[in-house]
Amino acid sequence: MTADNLTITEKIFSKASGKPVRSGEFVMASIDCAMTHDITGPLAVQGFQEIMKDKPEAKVWDPDKIVILFDHQVPADSLNAAQNHIMLRKFAAEQGITNYDVYEGVCHQVVPEKGWVKPGDLVVGSDSHTCAYGSLGAFSTGIGSTDMAAVLATGKLWFKVPQTIRFEVNGRLPDKVYSKDIILHLIGDVGADGAMYMAAEYGGEAIRALDISQRMTISNMAIEMGGKAGIIEADTTTGDYLKQRIPGFTLDPDWKSDEDCEYEQYHEYDISDLSPQVACPHNVDNVKSVEEVEGTHIDQVLVGSCTNGRFEDIKIVADIMGGEPVAKGVRLLVIPASRTEYMKVLRAGLVDQFMEAGAIVESPCCGPCMGGSFGLLGDGEVGLATSNRNFQGRQGSARAFVYLSSPATAAASALTGEITDPRKV
């Protein structure tokens, strides 16, 4: 890389397209890793087979760069889901593709956990929250099934290199306030289309102070403001995380935006006085401080998902709940995001604590987050979730109401049966 004043996004697309490129240019880029799962995978495989129709022995472009996971409907919750799993298992086996089966966990937890992503990579996944891997300094974005079919066949995809919207977040997080509160605050500020067509880039001392688990929450939700990616430049925290997962990994200091790069937008925040934030029905950008919605009755609390289903998140919930029981009439669902995270929760004795408290601890999966499986909300019911979307009908009935919050706010609310400020328990 010779030119300077580039954003990390421009650097990654320059590498991926084999020539120096700037934002606004159309490129054909080589993909470093492609991920698909049990909901969008079947259409992708059908598309691949259709493209390759005249070549019966057709192979994918590179089986070592493709991952297929089952997480949205696991263990198979219907005959259709079971059939989809059979089809994808067979395809993965024939093609020599790594296939994480129904017990392994949610794609956006398992893919980084198993060392598939590193800084500077161009990653695509047929799931909108693929932007989560930006937390490791990659350009990672969601695509549809047909785009994925083209990637499976060729390993390449066209892109318009996006402009960058930079979020500079300074200050120190107050007690009981977490990265989920930061990202909800940012989304509320710029709106559901505030980062549309742009790469979101997060920096500043408050972001650098976060561990990888909390960074993943922030990158994961870039799509909720329309962002194409949600990148946090790799630093020693990233390096430590990746060294445990990728043999011989060393941090390349060039995978960051140059100081004199051009940002399309630049937003600065100081979060030292930030309150816990809550996204209210039915849009993720309908964000209020917890003080404004305290006392709202809830029927179900969901702790889990790729956004906030890691050990660190679940530990926060356990600590706030102490040995206290779940409020009468409230259903608390705890769903660790992966088998690895589940084992940590188990070994720390938290499964015991949750079961004693009257919670339901499920095996790793997307759970009710996408509203396709179990744990749905019925007509008129109200849910509070640590997940990433609260669109109408998202978690069941179109006449249900979903609020989104941090694990801390979810825990405090599970104890009282109404939305509760975690700083007050």
Partner 1 sequence: MNMTISGRVWKYGDDIDTDVIIPGKYLRTTDMQVFAEHALEGIDPDFSKQVRSGDIIVAGKNFGCGSSREQAPLALKYAGISCVVARSFARIFFRNAINVGLPIIEADITCQQGEICTVDLQQGKVHCGDRVGEGTKLPEFLQEILLDGGLVAHRKKQALK
The number of angstroms, rounded, from the C-alpha of 228 to the middle of its chain's C-alpha atoms is: 13
Considering beta carbons, is residue 62 or 270 the nearer one to partner 1? 62
Helix ranges restricted to H, 132-263: 145-154, 179-190, 205-208, 212-220, 236-243
The pairing of beta strand 26-30 with beta strand 156-160: antiparallel
CA 75 to CA 124: how far, in whole Å? 25
Residue 26: CB minimum distance to partner 1, A: 7
Q: Which is nearer to partner 1, 144 or 417 (CB)?
A: 144
Nearest-angstrom CA–CA distance, 240 and 373: 36
Instruction: State the nearest-atom distance from the C-beta of 32 to partner 1, in Å.
Output: 19
**By CB under 8 A, residue 197 contacts partner 1:** yes
CB of 380 to partner 1, least distance (A): 15
Sign of CA dihedral 34, 375, 280, 318: negative
391 near partner 1, judged by CB under 8 A? yes
Query: Per CB under 8 A, does 39 bind partner 1?
Result: yes
Binding mask 267-286 for partner 1 (x = CB under 8 A): ----------------x---
* DSSP H or E segment with residue 340: helix 339-347
SS3 string, 25-39, reads CEEEEECCEEEEECC
Q: Which of 26, 268, 355, 378 binds partner 1 (CB under 8 A)?
A: 26
Size of the site for partner 1 (CB under 8 A): 52
- Counting contacts by CB under 8 A, is residue 143 touching partner 1? yes
Stretch that binds partner 1, among 120-128, 244-252, 332-340, 377-385 (CB under 8 A): 120-128
Q: Would you state the torsion angle of the CA atoms of residues 359, 361, 365, 370, taken in this order, to the nearest 10 degrees?
A: -10
Tell which one of 1, 3, 59, 80 touches partner 1 (CB under 8 A).
Answer: 80
Q: Which x/- pattern over 223-242 shows residues binding partner 1 (rule: CB under 8 A)?
A: x--x-x--------------
Residue pair 147/41 in contact by the 8 Å Cβ criterion: no
The owner of tokens 């088998």 is 339
Instruction: Note the residues at the interface with partner 1 (CB under 8 A).
Output: 26, 39-40, 42-43, 46-47, 50-51, 53-54, 72-73, 77-78, 80-81, 84, 125-128, 130, 142-147, 149-150, 153, 158, 192-193, 196-197, 223, 226, 228, 283, 370-372, 376, 389, 391-394, 396, 398
